[in-house]
Amino acid sequence: MKRIGVLTSGGDSPGMNAAIRAVVRTGTYHGLEVFGIKRGYQGLIEGDIDVMGPRSVSDIINRGGTILHSARCKPFYEPAGRAQGAAQLGKHGIEGIVVIGGDGSYRGAQALHAEHGVGCIGLPGTIDNDIGGTEYTIGFDTALNTAMDAIDRLRDTAAAHDRVFFVEVMGRHSGYIAMLSGIAGGAEEILVPEEPTDVNGLIEALRNGRQRGKKSAIVVVAEGDDAGHAIDVAQKVTEVSEFTDARVTVIGHLQRGGSPTAFDRVLASRMGVHAVEALLQGETGKMAGIDNQNMVLRPLAEAWECRTQFDPRLLRVARVLSV
Ligand code: F6P
């Protein structure tokens, strides 16, 4: 293998730039030519492909977002789109690609490999930390710290006014950010998609807290909770309870940006090295992951077949500590 490509796809996550840097520099280290593919599979189909070198990834390890840009590409769901992508790779003599993204991006990589024999290695880049086959995804730690920081700030004003605050964090299908930011931020209640939410039970818990001397409360709501978004849960609570002065904050895409934490930079760097060296050893259709501090390679399909869910024992920790 002489030429490889790298792309970022799907929702961006802090640390993707550190991963691009690691892929480009590892390729250079091993004497490969590395090509950056812009805007994920969309740029691949359109041939938006440029050669990269170690200096083209200088000064990005600390930057959020992705210098390659990202996109969700409908045409790549179809065989015709993938054939166009494979033709572009052939034109540039690229034999293997590293795909940085979530499980949707891996499905594309899997099909590209199966239909056109392109070497594909995935790197898990998503803030949701819901990809099977790895304990952590690139960007999760940064997003978690952003959410925790927001909760800390909201706690100040909640305490000043003796108010209940509903804080919505990201996680359409995953309560990982909610659970860990809730524990780290000392939240009274944490609502996640993995557990059914009982609004009456929530009101009762807030009331009990008041009786135990709590004057304010933080309720963390994952955006995908079954009771709705934070605004919906707050409305249900305020309509039927004495907590009429509650406030709602949606942290939203703030969690997707910002300078990656040391954890995410190191994770991205390790995974980037691992991915390129895997391609060189002839591996394909796999994803680089971390398991018990070790770099591992897992089949791409594990990403969506064995989605990571937070340990339910964490829920108990949160409950015990909000006494
Ligand atoms: O990156 C994952 C994620 O943050 C989800 O938690 C969220 O639902 C989704 O992306 C929103 O992404 P977008 O606004 O780009 O569609």
The model's pLDDT over 180-231, given as tens digits with 9 standing for 90+, comes to: 999 999 999 999 999 999 999 999 999 999 999 999 999 999 999 999 999 9
128 is catalytic: yes
192's tokens? 């996640």
The answer to whether the CB of 178 is under 6 A from ligand 1 is: no
Q: Which of 270, 264, 298 is nearest to 23 (CA)?
A: 270
Locus of tokens 């305020």: 238
Sign of CA dihedral 72, 78, 82, 87: negative
Mean per-residue pLDDT of the chain: 97
Mutate to test the pocket of ligand 1, among 69, 250, 256, 307 (most ligand atoms within 8 A of CB): 256
The answer to whether the CB of 126 is under 6 A from ligand 1 is: yes
Sign of CA dihedral 281, 130, 89, 84: positive
Q: Which of 45, 41, 44 is nearest to 104 (CA)?
A: 41
The answer to whether the CB of 11 is under 6 A from ligand 1 is: yes
Read off the pLDDT of residues 142-190 as tens digits, 9 standing for 90 and up.
999 999 999 999 999 999 999 999 999 999 999 999 999 999 999 999 9
pLDDT for the residue 4: 98
pLDDT for the residue 177: 97
134-140-142 Cα angle (round to 5): 145
From 12, 103, 128, 141, active-site residue: 128
Question: Mapping DSSP to helix (H, G, I), strand (E, B) and coil, where does residue 84 land?
Answer: helix
Q: What does DSSP assign to residue 250?
A: E
Q: Which residues of 195-227 are buried (b: 16+ CB within 10 A; e: fewer)?
A: eebebeebbebbeebeeeebebbbbbbbbbbeb
Give the confidence band of 308 by pLDDT, cuts at 50, 70, 90.
Answer: confident
pLDDT for the residue 41: 97
Task: Tell me, in angstroms, the distance from the centre of ligand 1 to residue 260's CA.
Answer: 17
Query: d(Cα 53, Cα 90) in Å, to the nearest integer?
Result: 20
DSSP string, 303-315: HHHT-----THHH
By the 10 Å C-beta count (0-12 exposed, 13-18 middle, 19+ buried), 146 is classed as buried
Indicate the helix (H) or strand (E) that contains 241: none
**Predicted TM-score of the model (pTM):** 0.97
Residue 294 has pLDDT above 90, yes or no: yes
DSSP string, 163-212: -EEEEEE--SS--HHHHHHHHHTT-SEEE-TTS---HHHHHHHHHHHHHT
Q: Contact at 8 Å (CB) between 13 and 261?
A: no
DSSP string, 34-75: EEEETTHHHHHHHT-EEEE-GGGGTT-TT--S-TT-----GG
Query: d(Cα 69, Cα 170) in Å, to the nearest integer?
Result: 21
The answer to whether the CB of 12 is under 6 A from ligand 1 is: no
Task: Tell me, in angstroms, the distance from the centre of ligand 1 to residue 4's CA.
Answer: 28
Lowest mean pLDDT among 15-19, 235-239, 300-304: 300-304
What is the chain's Cα-based Rg? 22
Q: Contact at 8 Å (CB) between 5 and 35?
A: yes
Residue 312 has pLDDT above 90, yes or no: no
Beta-ladder partners of 125: 138
The answer to whether the CB of 252 is under 6 A from ligand 1 is: no
Task: Tell me, in angstroms, the distance from the centre of ligand 1 to residue 92's CA.
Answer: 32
Residue 307 has pLDDT above 90, yes or no: no
Read off the pLDDT of residues 127-139 as tens digits, 9 standing for 90 and up.
999 999 999 999 9
Give the confidence band of 232 by pLDDT, cuts at 50, 70, 90.
Answer: very high
Residue nearest atom 12 of ligand 1, based on CA coordinates:
11
Question: What's the one-letter identity of residue 117?
Answer: G
Beta-ladder partners of 296: 289
